[in-house]
Structure 1
């Protein structure tokens, strides 16, 4: 009952060694560690090559740069074990993470097992929930939490998948963001039963990054909208419709403000189409909740005012990318 670990890396010379050491030192030993060197131009190739000579469980695949999603898809082609997981190359694991998760698969009824995590930054560690509770979820409950962003995050790195559940699922290589949400939506849709252990076993390391420009933000907003639309269209005729609709509306509103703040030549035309869509959804009463209704009215009717209010809000708010139980 072995586990394949897929680690895409691009120019990760500063942190790939620490990441891989946290994997090879796991108390769970039956590992196949697939490292995809995605066209690195720094010393990454040498580091992972040396580490693979010391630990034969590490398999290195060198190729030209095509992006993390493409690297993960390539890694899936090399999987030899019955279970698979993913690790971001700049993060680390608690040494008993895989032992803690894999033991649940001895009960063959579980298709996905996942855990909590903590954020590690300059000012210290932030435990995300960490109630210590164990949640066994049927298909519907897990999908509801994934779509609505409750209880657990849609990331890949804190989840272990039974390979026969995801053997026909691949990452959308055109997406810059939310490709993990879409992958997990498809995975949990096929999953009959999963286990979420609310104990932090994965260390999400917050790295210094350059400030995203408006073009990058717009691309992310477009991709988030695309993913939410795919999920919403897939849920229109089932009990998940309202959860998918809420996510879709939020992404639509965010897309409008990102286009409005961009320098795109066609932004007026796109914003006009979005406003018409927002008005139509309000007419059909698809947009619910006082805050969301007010936001939709401001965006569709007085976008200049909304832009000014958003600037003020964005300066004083404290972003929360995590989830609540």
Structure 2
């Protein structure tokens, strides 16, 4: 089985350099190809890609800007492999990545898979805190790669595999700006394809480098969920309301505290203390643990507000 690694990029040549460097260090003897899809960037990666022509089977494509989903589809349409691996440009791939993917698919083949993300030791304290907030059981329930779920796991586009057969059947990603990976998962299931989590096929994911960018990203995630709920009503769950109810609860707790009722505010304080302690235990860094409280609040705020806006004021 030949793997085609599809990487859309937009104005991030430095990130692509780090990612391609990591792909040259794979402990994997089989042939694989890499396709870089430049999505109308003004800061092009062509020179960076040229550095790896003698180290990787790599192809560079430049196209008009149309978004990450369309760029991934473009890459799969031009790939020569029979199994596609989609990566975001802001990841670094551990040396064992392809070996673990291939091993898992040989044991239990599925037409799609997803892998977890982690924080590399070289990441900033804020990047590590954001990674904690996005992957912790205390914030997301561990749904982004810390639970085994064959057949029901929803892969995310930063680290996703898709067979050529499944791509041809589903036509890949939709035109949704956010939530397009979840939309693809639902269409895969509708067409009888299975998904799985490959826990050992993790990537180091840099994510956003500022609180403002992280808020914007999570806001986009929030806006996508009501759209998906309406499109696939059988997948809607009450738990998707939790971030919105969480931030409403904070507002209520502050109002109650003004009138001398502090119990609810204490509950929130205890929750954020748990986040601090859990992050400290995982990261062994006080600064990261402190920032984790703020990134977790930002995540709830961004997702919750995005969800409410999309739910009650949908764009036409």
Shorter-chain TM-score category?
0.5 to 0.7
1:130-176 per-residue CA deviation (whole Å, 9 max, x = no partner) reads 99999472x3xx1xx54xxxxxxx41233322221232322222x33
- Asked whether the equivalents of residues 98 and 201 of structure 2 are also in contact (C-alpha less than 8 Å), the reply is no
Say if 2:102 is the partner of 1:84: no
Following superposition, the deviation at residue 183 of structure 1 comes to: 1.4
Change (3 A) 1:11 1:111: same
Say if 2:97 is the partner of 1:97: yes
- Relative to its length, the structure with more strand (as a share) is 1
- In the alignment of these two chains, the number of paired residues is 251
Calculate the TM-score normalised by the size of structure 1. 0.63
Pairing 1:1-325 to 2, within 5 Å after superposition = 1-28=1-28, 29-51=30-52, 53-55=53-55, 57-107=57-107, 109-120=109-120, 121-123=123-125, 128=135, 135=148, 137=150, 139=151, 142=152, 145-146=153-154, 154-169=155-170, 170-173=172-175, 175-190=176-191, 192-199=193-200, 201-209=202-210, 211=212, 221-232=222-233, 235=234, 244-246=236-238, 250=241, 254=244, 319=296
Following superposition, the deviation at residue 43 of structure 1 comes to: 4.5
For 2:206 and 2:146, locate their aligned partners in 1 and report how far apart those are by CA, in whole Å. 24
Of structures 1 and 2, the one scoring higher in RCO (CA 8 A, sep 6+) is: 2
- Asked whether the equivalents of residues 92 and 203 of structure 1 are also in contact (C-alpha less than 8 Å), the reply is yes
Q: What residue number does 2:280 align with?
A: none
Following superposition, the deviation at residue 217 of structure 1 comes to: 7.4
For 1:129 and 1:116, locate their aligned partners in 2 and report how far apart those are by CA, in whole Å. 12
- Relative to its length, the structure with more helix (as a share) is 2
Moved more, 202-211 or 93-102: 202-211
Unaligned runs of 5+ in 1: 147-153, 236-240, 255-290, 299-303
1:214-236 per-residue CA deviation (whole Å, 9 max, x = no partner) reads 9987665433321222121xx2x
